[in-house]
Structure 1
Amino acid sequence: MKPLPWLLLLLLTACAPALAPQDVPLDDVTPVIRGATPQRVAYGAFSTYYEVLGEGAPVVLVHGIGGGSSGFQYRQNAPALAAAGFRVFVPDLLGFGGSSRPELRYTQDLLVGQLTAFLEGLPGGPKAVVANGLSAAYAVRVAVERPELISKLVLIAPTGYERLARPQDAARVAAFDRLRGPLGSVLNAFLLDPGSQRFFLLDAYAGRESLTPEVLESYDRNLRVPGARWVVFSFISGNLDQSVRDLWPRVEQPTLILWGTEATNTPIGDAEDFLRARPQTRFLPVRGVKLLPNEDRPGLFNEALLDFLRE
């Protein structure tokens, strides 16, 4: 296909009308996690979609901040936790999955506020929180600012020291505003291309064998939902960055960090900053995977997580 028709096709696809996830009645929603019940809760003018299953001590699983991400990332983990006697909550952050996707500049404060409100609204005492990448930085911030909400932290390849830690200033706003115009339309078309999606997913997953039709379909579907581009543009422009340099040493909750040995964008060497500042942190390198050990080695991940939660 010639470049111009290829681009036009993707732009037309991106503009095609579709029903936003938050508009779909819950009775018509098929949960992405086997055995889970879909729910929604208000967050200001927006809504947080989440899935819940199991009974017992509460555990909250927070997906990473990547285009097309959602609670789908924990479909191999949540049922195992529920079967082991935990009540598992899997929320979608704003801009992702089944939650609201407003057309605005997303910020670290917006998503940290959403996570805080979600934890506040859950019954019971403090919750164990599992989070990936940039979301792990958000969980660290909540653990410091609202320690009564979190009992334990499990962080998967967390960011916030040298990576994804840019200051929130006028430069970030200007970078986002540039993506509101034609440049953003071209970028969005690129993100909707199946080849581009595979390229980016291979930064997170262990290899091509991990990119099953189910995985590819989930990310592609979420990227095509109306409004999906705005949180992606906010991430690219640095508006979602969250530094943990001053926060991390103040974390008091027991913490487990898991890190794939083959990670490239967030290499395992970044763990040194976290372990140096808090040497009491439990650390588990996971061989042969990148940023998603919960996806690529779910058995090992579930066992390590359950051992830590039961302590």
Structure 2
Amino acid sequence: MLLLKMLSVMNKKLVLVLGLWFLNVAFAEAQVKKVKSDPLIWTDLQADFYLKNKGFFFFRNQWRHNTDSDFPGLKESGALSKFYQVYVLAGYEQRFTEKWSGSLFARYTFDTFNDNQIYQAALRHNGKIGETSFIKRLAYDYIRPEFGDSRGRIRPSVALERNFKLGNHTLRPHLSYELFFYQDFKEEDPLIETRTVDRSRLRIAASYKVTPYLWLTPYFTKQTEYYYVLDTFTGEDDDQGNPIIKEKGGKRNRIDPIFGFDIRFIIRGKNTSDETVPQLSSLNDAAGN
């Protein structure tokens, strides 16, 4: 119980830190050059198998499509040419108390440029603001690419969810914000500039209970990648013999609009009921490279 009390205090501090960071970034990033990319389309298929001990296994398959016709797919022709990434995932989540739960998963990704494996451990706190669920989550990913060095990333997130009854059905809106902090397990090079946050995701979703066993969830995500770029040059010199800069380098924020659709099956055990709902915050769990 002492551990849970300590975690509860840490949980409140985490929310405060995230709030202050968001306000600081909102002002600091106002002058950063933004780069907009073509929309992405993600399709998720997941099954949650609930157990008697208030835990559940989850299995997911996701397909990612880039609307940029010049972006290469997994294959040069055929159905897989339409997708730049496909992954399969298996995991387990266990509830410790009414509010605290933890999860583990392993994922294999087929990627156009570099296949990879991702292993994640996460801790989740499910609080309440009135009738609204206030979910805080802290995850750590270990990423092993087929080519290149392994790296890790820390992923804090917050989410709001609430149920609305529509006759015999349920509508569950969802709003979440997640940050990504990458680690490459190497000594930092002071000559290489890095951003504090590497990626963020703002997600809006609405899950609809078709039956007690089937939920459909359309969602939209604004994904932002934070990075630095070097100066680019025209290849010509000015009157003083200095290279002419074509575009000044510096901070860049690349914005990726993502339209997604999640199909989720609930396989009910003895601890579930008609009130059992999928944890929409887990839409963020497997989102990788």
Name the TM-score class by shorter chain: under 0.3
TM-score by length of 2: 0.23
Higher helix share: 1
- TM-score, normalisation: structure 1: 0.22
